[in-house]
Amino acid sequence: MAVDLRLEEEHEALRRTVEDFAQREVAPVIGELYEREEFPYKLVAQMGEMGLFGLPFPEEYGGMGGDYFALCLALEELARVDSSVAITLEAGVSLGAMPIYRFGNDKQKQQWLPSLCAGEALGAFGLTEPDGGSDAGATRTLAKLDGDEWVINGSKSFITNSGTDITRLVTVTAVTDFEPGSKRREISAIIVPAGTPGFTVEKKYSKVGWNCSDTHGLAFNDVRVPAENLLGERGRGYAQFLSILDEGRVAIAAIGTGLAQGCVDECVRYAGERVAFGKTIGTYQAIQFKIAEMQARVYTSRLAYYAAAAKMLRGESFKSEAAIAKLVSSNAAMDNARDATQIFGGYGFMNEYPVGRFYRDAKILEIGEGTSEVQKMIIARGLGL
């Protein structure tokens, strides 16, 4: 059987549609929004109208009836122009809505998914804690059952989409069995609606990049929610979110690929315009070779996330492939952003040029949703080491 990497007609049509949206709607405005560190509400609403937030969800919940690979294609095209917009979509779908879809009961799905799929509301994923980082299983946030309510105390860090005007819920991991002296740690997932008394969204972070993305720390002080807000099986919260992260890493790999491709796009254009020593710089072999290496990284990165997504859609184990895709794509994004900045010279250091944003945005791809070191651990374990 021949290997065919061409996109199916529906996927190619989606890719072209999002490419056009990114170039026509995102590119003209994102520079100023980025400079002001302003959340792109209008762009989010437009993506909602296009159905992008509902891409991988069934039509019965207001989704588009597509698949996760369709989401990845959309993310790549958005990230070719700006990663803040891309990560807003990625987090809204894979971290906000997907846990509800994967693990929620019928009532929870009916309550939350229609507005999340429409992009009218955003959900967030409360996993990381101030002292947690890569050791996400060392959860300190506590949730105690008091009658028919959970009482939650603790804090979370670096939570995307957690403080916007349209954020409606945060799904929080918390220790739900903490008997003194017990070695057993039961971590469960609980839905906390925005505005619940005792639930505080802290001041937004001052970040190196992703300036149009919404990111906050969260505090929970005797937050009370109904016992029925438990998401999935009690004690399975951490395992649930590990599976969510496997999917998310494929999506992040698509963003890394898009950023790396955006660097190539900008450099090809600039190399044909910029004149040095009487010639356009694209005629010099030094520049040609650098851009050629950049394109090779993009090609490899795209193949890696396509392969991981293919195994995911076939229902096969894809943990190692997702880790490989994220590792390769984040390296490609960082390397290409550095090379693009070098090609642009002094202009590459200016925020008015896209490559300046790309450089600032690339680094977090080696950290978020599992550091590069964590990806290497996963890959090594997959080899039996």
Around Cβ 379, how many Cβ atoms within 10 Å? 17
Residue 151, pLDDT score: 97
Residue 378, pLDDT score: 95
Written as six digits, the tokens of 18 are: 């999002």
**Residue 5 banded pLDDT, cuts 50, 70, 90:** confident
List Cα–Cα distances, 124 to 162, 206, 207, 309, in angstroms.
5, 19, 18, 23
Residue 177, pLDDT score: 83
Query: Do 360 and 319 touch, CB atoms closer than 8 A?
Result: no
Residue 182, pLDDT score: 57
In this prediction the pTM is 0.95
Around Cβ 323, how many Cβ atoms within 10 Å? 26
Q: Give yes or no for residue 216 having a pLDDT over 90.
A: yes
Q: Give yes or no for residue 2 having a pLDDT over 70.
A: no
**Residue 178 banded pLDDT, cuts 50, 70, 90:** low
**Residue 272 banded pLDDT, cuts 50, 70, 90:** very high
Q: What residues contact residue 304 under an 8 Å CB cut-off, 6+ apart?
A: 253, 321, 324, 325, 328, 329
User: How do residues 225-258 score in pLDDT, each as one tens digit?
Assistant: 999 999 999 999 989 988 999 999 999 999 999 9
Report the pLDDT averaged over residues 335-359.
95
Residue 351, pLDDT score: 84
Q: Which residue has the tokens 């929970």?
A: 220
Written as six digits, the tokens of 125 are: 């994923």
Q: What is the C-alpha radius of gyration for the chain, rounded to an integer number of angstroms?
A: 21
Q: Taking phi first (over 0 means left), then psi (-120 to 50 degrees means alpha), and beta for anything else, what does residue 220 get?
A: beta
User: How do residues 40-50 score in pLDDT, each as one tens digit?
Assistant: 999 999 999 99
- CA angle 163-74-16, nearest 5°? 140
Active-site residue set: 369
Q: Give yes or no for residue 344 having a pLDDT over 70.
A: yes
Q: Where are the beta strands (DSSP E) in the chain?
A: 122-126, 142-146, 149-160, 167-177, 186-193, 199-201, 215-226, 230-231, 275-276, 279-280
Residue 352, pLDDT score: 83
